[in-house]
Amino acid sequence: MRDYIARLRARGDLLVVDKEIDPFHELAAVTAAAQKRWDKPILFNKVKGTRFPVVTNVYGSRERLAEVIGIDAKDFCRQWSNLAALGKGTAGADPFARVEDDGLIECKLSDLPLITYSDRDAAPYFTSAMFIAKDPETGVGNLSYHRSMYVSDDELRCRLAPRHHLTIYHEKAEKMGKPLEAAMLIGAPATSFLTAAAPLPYDVDELEVAARLKGAPIAMRKCKYIDLEVPADTEIVIEGRFLPNERRAEGPFGEFMGYYVPEGPNAVFEVLGVTVRRDAVFHSILCGSPEEVLTLELSVSANIYQRLSAALPGILDVTCQPFVTHAIIKIDPQFEGHARQVMLATIGAEPIWAKVVTVVDDDVNIYDMDDVMWAILTRCRPDKDMLIIPETPSFYRDDAKDHWGRLLIDATKPFNRREEFERKKIRLADTVNLADWFPNA
Per-residue pLDDT tens digits for 250-306: 999 999 888 899 999 999 999 999 999 989 999 999 998 888 888 888 888 988 998
- Within a domain: residue 118? no
pLDDT in tens, 384-418: 999 999 998 887 667 788 889 999 999 999 999 99
The pLDDT value recorded for residue 176 is 95
Distance CA 70, CA 63 (A): 10
The number of folded domains in the chain is 2
- Phi first, then psi: give them for residue 335, nearest 5 degrees: -165, 160
The pLDDT value recorded for residue 88 is 60
Are residues 227 and 250 part of one domain? Answer: yes
Are residues 414 and 354 part of one domain? Answer: yes
Are residues 230 and 98 part of one domain? Answer: yes
Which CATH number does the domain housing residue 89 bear? 2.30.110.10
Are residues 273 and 299 part of one domain? Answer: no
Are residues 305 and 241 part of one domain? Answer: no
Are residues 319 and 273 part of one domain? Answer: no
- Phi first, then psi: give them for residue 72, nearest 5 degrees: -75, 140
Are residues 262 and 313 part of one domain? Answer: no
pLDDT in tens, 16-61: 999 999 999 999 999 999 999 998 999 999 999 999 999 999 988 8
Q: Percent of the chain, pLDDT > 90?
A: 68
Distance CA 58, CA 3 (A): 12
- Within a domain: residue 440? no
The residue among 242, 277, 312 that closes a domain is 277
- Within a domain: residue 269? yes
Are residues 260 and 134 part of one domain? Answer: yes
Helices 290-311 and 62-69: crossing angle in degrees, nearest 10, is 70
pLDDT in tens, 144-182: 889 999 999 999 999 998 778 899 999 999 999 999 999
The residue among 219, 246, 277 that closes a domain is 277
- Within a domain: residue 208? yes
- Within a domain: residue 205? yes
Domain of residue 341, residue span: 291-418
Are residues 301 and 201 part of one domain? Answer: no
Distance CA 364, CA 422 (A): 11
- Within a domain: residue 211? yes
- Within a domain: residue 128? yes
Are residues 198 and 85 part of one domain? Answer: yes
- Within a domain: residue 171? yes
Which CATH number does the domain housing residue 295 bear? 3.40.1670.10
The residue among 277, 299, 322 that closes a domain is 277
**pLDDT at 92 > cutoff 60:** no
Are residues 191 and 104 part of one domain? Answer: yes
Instruction: Tell me the pLDDT of the chain averaged across its residues.
Output: 90
